Structure 1
């Protein structure tokens, strides 16, 4: 379905739900999904290319075969998935880059067969295949990855009997016993990273995610991701966020992370740390702030800021980690990168929680007001207003907005609505979290 922003002077061509968020009671967004994060794995050494892999916190290791590892293994990319799942409920990931598949040969009763790794990458060079005679007939063929048996095919007699999730067997003839056959020639191809990240960004348009992590310092990739998020928000209409490293996007719900954390005994880089923050933002919803949010498992801050540095960073729209009085690693202040405002921008849109209210509300409108669902007449307008006011009430009951005037905060413009176009005014006042306390103590 089409969506995005609109101007009264430029009517849209495609049917859809078009939303503008403005200061005051002007058009702004059932139940949009939350807790969904998305990340490309750049430079990973195994797995399918050109495929979005969907994981959930109920079964985070469901794609272990595709990764060649558990997400709990000590690997830089797997650690980023761990970090996301500290908060996120769902993660979409994509293995960026290219490469060659590792290959090898096996001994047959007569001649040889070929073995090719299922996926490109250097992890394929750690695959070995072993065949031993089965006392009851045939041969037991093991696939060993990095020293651990990951598959055992029992009682096979021919090459065509060998079906594996890690390698492809080719050839004809009867099997024989053979010692370890190693695969070689697997490569990672970094020259294809930019093109594959571009493909990832295009595929992301089809997913209703809440926040994307871009774990890189490459300026061209950051620019591409920022451009894509703006496009998704303004042209497609789905309100989502992005976390980048050391990049001042000056845009709502695009976060500029400028330091990192220590985790599991290792110093994370800032690009790695964006994974945790994106997961936390995705899961935060519109009723909680990330200010002083604890980074569970973190033991220190890499690049801690002084008081003056922290003040300047906040003014520049940076988000960063600090250590609390109790020794926890926390988010200092839940602010996105927006520092430049127009008269139409809500004054609080640079704050994380209010921005998520605006975004979630816009997404709920997008999902509720589907083209063709209502009549564009007084009866249909009454139904639309009823649904809109129900959304307002739900948000108020959740503590996301306040001072709702149900009769006037969701109104169809009956004079302007005609043909296939409906114009609706909606007013909301987000609730922020109490994050600054000013006390006056008077001695008696």
Structure 2
């Protein structure tokens, strides 16, 4: 019986690794233009499903770091290998270097078996040889990363010393590899005037679930801890009970303090019609309802599934109308008092929450995003009456998506920029989650009155 039980455990764990490495192989093939992919965990034990997700997150979050160390240990540039081989090596290396609860023999042996089954029988030998060399890089655990060449930072605030291999001497290259960020993104952030190392280390944090409280009273509720931003709290309860918790507290929503300030910082001017042109899941729409109690809100989306979801969320809410964005734009000119444009962006201010976004920020996708943002701004400007306002917001740190777009709107659309607010992210590995904050940008612009 014991041997059968051991066999069953091995099969289940292999299923978790199989699910994870299939997703990672797809990411390797698409790199750097990644989109979120859920692993196939149907029928898995909850622990194994959690392992699959943890493997994907750890590997993808540190893809550049792992690729660099694999290259140093094995003498092979991971980018030259087929996607499945990249996935196997990176996932195996993540277990050896970043996930200290997984025994070396499990990380290596089961990755070797996966390579034999999913790539080809002889692939196991290469995987075995390289992963054993990667394991040999692992030195002692340190209290913190000193920014030097002899260790890599860990997401809990500690660091791992490297044996026999070092990171580059050049600061930008070293920080980029240590924090798994493309060189172009690190160079861009170096020009922001912030502490570059702190900014990059922030992207390694496992972010807390921050809730905007609204009217909710959470006094004595042990599922929440205080947050540094007024009107917010950190949710500590089980993730699978979050929805139930939100239903207990109408008006509460999951929203970081940086994002909530976009609407929270507005001053009502007697607006009758407000348009949320990129409503998404309706988080800011709910904020607008509370902030502007006399206004009618038009919530818009282009995605069919999100439109259906929005209609469900606001069913029975007499002050909200849900429209396809094209229908709202097609209503003509100068019919809204305020238009909020929370535009699609690179997500570079929320990389801890959007792991797959970190590799595409400075890719060719940026140019396409900038054009999309300008199209949305142009539509918003046409919809707003003279004297009304356009609110432009992103969760990006990139000047091209932020201040440069506001300057473009001022020059090309004749908008007046009255207020800008750029928020840098706060919170590093191991820091208290009460001080965590995403990065964001918002510009309040006005249409000429005459």
The answer to whether the superposition gives a TM-score over 0.5 is no
**Structure showing greater relative contact order (alpha-carbon pairs closer than 8 Å, 6 or more residues apart):** 1
Q: TM-score, normalised by structure 1?
A: 0.25
Greater fraction helix: 2
TM-score (norm 2): 0.25
Of structures 1 and 2, the larger Rg is shown by: 1
